[in-house]
Amino acid sequence: MNGEAHHAASDLEVARCFTTGLLLEAISQPKPGLVDRIKRLKELDLFKLSASAVSLHPFFAESSRLGRRGRTRNRLGKLILEAVGVTLRVQRGGNTHLGSVLLTMPLAAGAGSLVGEAVKPEALRRAAVKALRGLGWLDAVNIFRAISLVGPGGLGRVPFLDVNSSETYDFLRRRRAGPLEALEPYRGRDMVADELLDGYPLLFGRALKTLMETQEDKDEFLETACVNALLSVMASRPDTHIVRRRGLHVARIVQSMAAEVLRLGGAASKEGLKAALELDDYLRRVDARPGSSADILGASIGVLLLTGLRV
């Protein structure tokens, strides 16, 4: 019984970290083109994002429990589908955390498998990749259903294995294809899919790295680290949410502007903050939102908290 209590507390700690990560991502300011604690979007605000994030807490805990027990195969996908459904049910803003759920649930399962160990980034990354590779065809079916649930534009459209086509689900059943095989046609088309396919390169190599480097300077606030981490992801490649919404040309302009903000010092300098606000003005004027970059940021903050950061 004592052992179970220890494990249950650890599962709750995983859930706390990833839920808090999404909440901290939501309030960080300024986040160009996104909801933050000062600005909102037409259909989405801090209240809706907060309600959605908190609703995910039990799903993160359950994902950790499945990872701890080595029982993620053909279960994690169903949990993802249920989690996305709840985020849509608790608020009226539409898709709030699809990308975040897809990224964080395997990470939570990976964290669960590390119960009893101090969580280190590379160990967590390996554990999450292992969890993803072990998923089955039922997971793929339910993950695609979750993507379809949020409405058109979840991962964009592809000629093969489109989430909105009934033929896709027939193929997945016949092929017994896991999520990684199923997401392969989306490679290069969606940042979240690429993170899952390639083992979280932007999350660990960009966002988390920036968070940790900024935190080494004790004079910098966590908020500064969060904004700069977001900008580092935006500067790394065209945000695919912007590509789908406003085209590649706009996405490349945003990428270039984000890189310039960082060159000027990001949120840590007056010049960088001024450039960040100019980027924000541009994004809101053309109604483009770096939502995929924000998903990566939210998951990376959760990882940072898991490594022991106290806010």
So where are the chain's domains? Answer: 2-306
Q: Which tokens hold the place of 290?
A: 């770096």
Residue 222 reports pLDDT greater than 60: yes
2-306 placed in CATH 3.40.50.800: no
Q: What is the mean pLDDT of residues 101-118?
A: 93
Write down the pLDDT at residue 161: 74
- Looking at the chain, the whole-number percentage of residues with pLDDT higher than 70 is 92
Q: Which tokens hold the place of 299?
A: 């998951």
Write down the pLDDT at residue 162: 81
At 2, is the pLDDT very low, low, confident or very high (cuts 50, 70, 90)?
very low
Q: What is the mean pLDDT of residues 284-289?
A: 97
Residue 133 reports pLDDT greater than 90: yes
pTM of the entire predicted model: 0.94
Q: How far apart are CA 103 and CA 195, in angstroms?
A: 8
Lowest mean pLDDT, pick from 3-12, 81-90, 125-134, 199-208: 3-12
Residue 251 reports pLDDT greater than 50: yes
Handedness of CA 242, 243, 248, 252 (dihedral sign): positive
Write down the pLDDT at residue 166: 87
Write down the pLDDT at residue 104: 98
**Contact criterion met (CB below 8 Å) for 9 and 1:** no
**Contact criterion met (CB below 8 Å) for 78 and 105:** no
Residue 1 reports pLDDT greater than 60: no
Write down the pLDDT at residue 311: 87
Nearest to 273 by CA among 26, 30, 40, 27: 30
Write down the pLDDT at residue 279: 98
Name 205's Cβ contacts closer than 8 Å, sequence gap at least 6. none
Name 206's Cβ contacts closer than 8 Å, sequence gap at least 6. 229, 232, 233, 236, 296
Q: How far apart are CA 232 and CA 207, in angstroms?
A: 7
Residue 303: how many CB atoms within 10 A of its CB? 29
Residue 167: how many CB atoms within 10 A of its CB? 10
Residue type, 71: R
- The 10s digit of each residue's pLDDT in 46-68 is 999 999 999 999 999 999 999 99
- Residue 166 vs residue 15, higher pLDDT: 15
Query: Can you tell me whether residue 165 is helix, strand or coil?
Result: coil
Write down the pLDDT at residue 216: 65
Write down the pLDDT at residue 229: 98
The pLDDT mean for the chain works out to: 92
Name 166's Cβ contacts closer than 8 Å, sequence gap at least 6. none
Q: What is the mean pLDDT of residues 221-235?
A: 96
Write down the pLDDT at residue 6: 41
